[in-house]
Amino acid sequence: MSFLTLDHVSHHYFSKNSFTKALNNISLNVKEGEFVALLGPSGCGKSTLLSIIAGIIRQTEGNVFLQGKAIGESEMDIGYMLQQDYLFPWKTIIDNTLLGPKINKINTMELKDKAVQLLDEVGLRDVSKKYPNELSGGMRQRVALVRTLINDPKILLLDEPFSALDYQTKLNLEDLVADLLKSYHKTAVLVTHDIGEAIAMSDRIVMMNANPGSIAKVYDVPIELRNEVPFMVRRHPKFQILFDKIWDELEAKGSDKKAVEISYE
Ligand SMILES: Nc1ncnc2c1ncn2[C@@H]1O[C@H](COP(=O)(O)OP(=O)(O)OP(=O)(O)O)[C@@H](O)[C@H]1O
């Protein structure tokens, strides 16, 4: 059964002088516990699609359902992790992780133990009383991950969450995120430009076309790779085969195509 359903989703951006067709007729079913990556040339609508799934923007056409319910009925169902951590500098790490529930008027006393446990799981128990500026970029992203998981969201939306990190930190975080999501049996959609990251972390990879954004191809990641931690996936012979296939496909699409933009001027 489909956990997340995208049913003929299209999106147009309208501004005073122009109209951009960002997404055209996207249909996709994501199973519970599945990890799906969205990959494609710049401007193909990956972030737009993620914002629609998050309920931040409303699609122009089509429907999006999470467990059969239209998106937007409960914000708490969705966890969002971005390239920037958006931690509040004047709040301690533990208070930052509890901010979402606090805003939603949930009793944070009950969630404190869970926050401590999650901080422990990401190796940050000792810094819970510190402030964000005392932490490295990788540590801050781990706090952002805890903040996302504290609400126990049904689905995690990851918009290039590792792209601002150095390579080694990024690989370590990929392993950590994959491990945590697997142990909590979370469903996730990742937007990335990094083919290796998409293969290392995902069960399926959705390759998108630009101009306008649509689904070009869906790759099933071989089971041998899905059973490994991301770091080890990169060493598997099947990794390189899939990498080359996707690379050739992306090269063929070109990397700088813009979506259809019609100016009214
Ligand atoms: N708020 C907006 N108003 C008008 N057009 C927009 C807006 N946001 C995005 N677009 C356009 O919609 C198209 C898809 O943009 P989007 O950011 O979703 O693509 P993307 O695949 O995430 O790009 P990138 O990989 O470069 O981050 C682009 O042509 C972009 O210019």
Domain region containing 190: 2-263
Tell me: pLDDT of 244 over 90.
yes
- Residue 254's pLDDT is 63
Q: What is the helix (H) or strand (E) element at residue 239, kind and residue range?
A: helix 237-253
The count of domains in the chain is 1
Mean pLDDT of 207-212: 92
Once rounded to an integer, what is the mean pLDDT over residues 223-252? 91
Nearest CA to ligand 1 atom 23: 43
Q: Are 98 and 149 in contact (CB under 8 A)?
A: no
Q: For ligand 1, is residue 258 a contact (CB within 6 Å)?
A: yes
* Dihedral, 75, 23, 64, 105 alpha carbons, nearest 10: 0
- How far apart (Å, rounded) are the C-alpha atoms in residues 143 and 252? 38
Report pLDDT for 73. 62
Query: How close is the Cα of 13 to the center of ligand 1, in Å?
Result: 9
pLDDT (mean) for 61-70? 92
Q: Quick count: other Cβ atoms within 10 Å of Cβ 152? A: 13
**Which residues touch 55 (CB under 8 Å, ≥6 apart)?**
71, 72, 75, 78
| Ligand 1 centroid from CA 73, angstroms | 25
pLDDT, residue 142, reads: 92
The structure's pTM equals 0.90
Q: Using alpha carbons, list the distances in angstroms from residue 91 to 95, 99, 121.
A: 6, 9, 21
Tokens 């004047």 belong to 90
Distance CA 210, CA 112 (A): 44
CA-CA distance, 177 to 219, in Å (whole number)? 21
- Which amino acid, residue 261? E
pLDDT of residue 75: 62
Output the CA 217–ligand 1 centroid distance in Å. Answer: 20
The residue whose CA has the least distance to atom 24 of ligand 1 is: 42
CATH code for the domain in which residue 138 is found? 3.40.50.300
Q: What is the mean pLDDT of the chain?
A: 89
CA angle centred on 197, ends 191 and 202, rounded to 5°? 75
246-258 average pLDDT score: 71
The pLDDT of residue 262:
44
pLDDT of residue 108: 74
pLDDT in tens, 113-132: 999 999 999 999 899 999 99
pLDDT tens-digit map of 146-198: 999 998 899 999 999 988 888 998 999 899 999 999 888 999 999 999 999 99
**How many Cα neighbours within 13 Å face the side chain of 222?**
12
Structural tokens at position 148? 């996302």
Provide the H-helix boundaries in 153-228: 167-183, 195-201, 223-226
Contact 68, 244 (CB under 8 A): no
CA of 208 to the centre of ligand 1 (A): 13
Interface predicted TM-score (ipTM):
0.97
Predicted local distance difference test score (pLDDT) of residue 252: 78
